[in-house]
Each structure stands twice: as C-alpha cells, then as structure tokens.
Structure 1
Amino acid sequence: MNIASLVVRAKPEHFTQLEALYRGIPGVEVHGRCEESGHLIVTVEDGEGYATTDSILAVSTAGHALSVSLAYEYTDEGLGLQEA
C-alpha cells in the first residue's frame, strides 16, 4: 500500500475545474479546500493497474495547479524484509 497527501496551490476560481480533473485520476481524492489561502488538500492511493507516482505526477501537471507539496507519504512495501 502507498498513500500520499498533497497540498495543491491554485487560484480559487480554478478549484472546480481542478477537482473535476482530479476525479479522473486513479486513486486521487480531494478532501478539503481553503479559498482564502488558495489550497486544496488531496490524497493519492495506489491500486491495481496504476502507481501512486503516476497519479502524483498527474496531479502536479494538471492545468491551473500552481504548485504541489508532498505533505505525507506512507508505504508498507518492504516491511516484511526487515529483521527484528
């Protein structure tokens, strides 16, 4: 499992367009918006047939996204390989 939380900076007048674009990206969900600061809170989860990194790239390159910051990332890949 891979999960990432992103903070997307955009002009508030473009929030609706961005949210519509993000609904079409696998594993992406918009959880919040702040029109005063121009931020959207987005999570990305991996799934069968797509990778988290591809979805993060799609969020970052979507039209009207001014900047994207990675706020949190979790992966459980390789946890079974660690020794106690």
Structure 2
Amino acid sequence: MKIASLVVRVSPEHIDALKDALLKIPGVELHGASSELGRVIVTVEDGEGYAMTDSLLAVNVAPHVLGVTLAYEYTDEGLEHELEHPEPIPGLPLAGDGIGSAQDKEA
C-alpha cells in the first residue's frame, strides 16, 4: 500500500472546477477545501490498475493547480524484510545484550 496526503493550491474562483477534476483521478479523495485560502486537501492511494505516482503527477498537472505540497507519504513495501532483519541503530544496544536486564539491577 502507498498513500500520500497533499495540499493543493488553487485560485479561489477555480476551486470547484479543480475539485471536479481531482475526483476524476484514480485513487484521489477530497478531505477538505477552503475557498478563502484557495486550498484543497486530498489523499492519493494506489490501487488495482494504477500507481500512486501516476495519480500524484495527474494532480500536479490538473487544470488550475498553482502548487502542490506533499504533507505525508507512507508505504508498507519492504516492511516484511525490515522486520525479519532489522538494521541496528548506531549507538543503541542490541536486544538481548543484557543492558537494563534484571541481572544488571541485582549486581
């Protein structure tokens, strides 16, 4: 799964036309809009038959878009591998090395 949240800027007089255009892009959902500020909050999610990146590009080139800010992005790709083989964090003790265990507190 891949998902991103965007703030899309638009001239206030074009906000309704932009919302209509965004709803035609696969994986796009509208979550809020401000006509006064000229901003639309959307999420873009991947799905069957289309990639999130294609939908992100389509949002960027939609009619009346002045700018797009990526607010949040998440992917769960590769998490299975990371959970099986976690990378050690430099400076932190490895699990099971005895640091902070009950044996240390007895000494």
For Structure 1 versus Structure 2, the TM-score category normalised by the shorter chain is over 0.9
1:30 corresponds in structure 2 to 30
The number of aligned residues is: 84
More strand by share: 1
| Cα distance in 2, alignment partners of residues 14 and 25 from structure 1 | 17
Unaligned runs of 5+ in 1: none
Residue 24 of structure 2 aligns with an amino acid whose one-letter code is G
Q: CA RMSD in A?
A: 0.8
> Normalising by the residue count of structure 1, what TM-score does the alignment of the two structures yield?
0.95
2:57 corresponds in structure 1 to 57
Q: Percent identity at matched positions?
A: 62
Structure of greater relative contact order (alpha carbons < 8 Å, 6+ residues apart): 1
| Cα distance in 1, alignment partners of residues 20 and 35 from structure 2 | 17
Unaligned runs of 5+ in 2: 87-107
1:57-76 maps to which residues of 2 (within 5 A)?
57-76=57-76
- List structure 1 segments (4+ residues) > 3 angstroms apart after TM superposition: none
